[in-house]
Chains A and B, each alone.
Chain A
Amino acid sequence: MQVNACMIAVMTNENAPPDADRVFKALADPTRRTLLDLLVERNGQTLGQLCANLAMARQSVTQHLGILEDAGLISTRRRGREKLHFINPVPLHEVYVRWVRKFERQRLDLLHDLKQDLEGDGP
């Protein structure tokens, strides 16, 4: 149920530019993370190539790819009748800068304070 609710939330904003909410929602599913892993291994795969690595109906894979595309995590390009899928790590990098690097900095500040305390020239 929760997965469906999240899919609906993602799908209804189809034309809005990707935002962090959609990135996190898209990542909150093991199949979609596997799809991203498959594209890291080999970028620019077709639906058929991606399906070959997943025990799942083609239609479900298409749906997962749609959610990843709406979140901006993959981009697609046509080659004749085929659609090629490319991983787009730009939104992940933005999440990293916004959510990970910030906490790393706090941890570094804590270490800095600790060092000051231990060395006796803290406040």
Chain B
Amino acid sequence: MSREKTSFVYVSYIRSTRDKVFEAITRPDLARRYWGHENVSDWQPGSDWQHVRADAARTLDLVGKVVEIAPPDRLVITWANASQADDAEAYSRVTFLLEDYRDMVRLTVSHDELEAGSGMEKGITRGWPAVLSSLKSFLETGAGLDIVPKP
């Protein structure tokens, strides 16, 4: 019996360059400043990816693999709660697509293969709008928004 899956597609227009947006996602020292988390990986296809809270405890919130990486245009990762790392069904997929749009970057974050009604669905629907707004603020003004570290 397979569980019902759902998708979300988030779009943000950022006055920046694709290189800077890509770096802001993949460089821990940048991500911590607007996301409250670091994305830790060597960013090779097949490598592990970890989403680590940027605080003293450095809690590991999410884990996954790098599926596809083509800087500065496209990044695909799998995504699961660290507590469900062993459950293959728990993994969803996140695609970051970066496109030039006039003098801006259109960043599309597609979150697919999510289990409908799951805690992860609730978490990401609260999380992505806040993270993307904070990323935009960070790249355009140098300061992120207040983000409570949450998975």
A residues sitting closer than 8 Å to B (CB atoms) are 15-18, 43-44, 72, 75, 77, 86, 88-90, 92-94, 97
Cross-chain contact B7 with A92 (CB below 8 angstroms)? no
Partner pick for A18 among B13, B129, B133, CB 8 A cutoff: B13
> Which residues of chain A are near B108, meaning CB under 8 Å?
75
**Contacting pair B8 A43 (CB below 8 A):** yes
Say yes or no for B136: interface residue by CB 8 A criterion.
Answer: yes
Known A-B contacts A44-B7, A90-B12, A97-B145; the reply to A17 vs B133 at CB < 8 A is no
User: In the bound complex, how far is the Cα of B107 from the Cα of A72, in angstroms?
Assistant: 12
B133 in contact with A94 (CB, 8 Å): yes
Q: In the complex, A44 Cα to B133 Cα: how many Å?
A: 22
Does B82 interact with chain A (Cβ within 8 Å)?
Answer: no
Chain A residues within 8 Å of B136, by CB: 94
A43 in contact with B133 given A17-B102, A75-B108, A88-B11 (CB within 8 Å):
no
- Interface pair A90/B129, CB less than 8 Å apart: yes
Judge whether B85 is part of the interface by a CB distance below 8 angstroms.
no
Q: Are A17 and B104 in contact (CB under 8 A)?
A: yes
From B108, B129, B132, residue with most partner A Cβ within 10 Å? B129
Cβ–Cβ < 8 Å partners of B10 in chain A? 75, 88-90
- 22 A-B residue pairs with Cβ-Cβ distance under 8 Å, sorted by A, are A15-B102, A17-B101, A17-B102, A17-B106, A43-B6, A44-B6, A44-B7, A44-B9, A72-B13, A75-B9, A75-B11, A86-B8, A86-B9, A88-B9, A89-B10, A89-B125, A89-B129, A90-B132, A90-B133, A97-B133, A97-B137, A97-B145
Q: Which of B11, B102, B129, B145 contacts A92 (CB 8 A)?
A: B129
B8 and A93 contact, CB distance less than 8 A: no
Give the shortest distance, in Å, between A87 (CB) and chain B (any CB): 8
| Contact code string B1-28 (vs A, CB < 8 Å = 1, else 0) | 0000011111111000000000000000
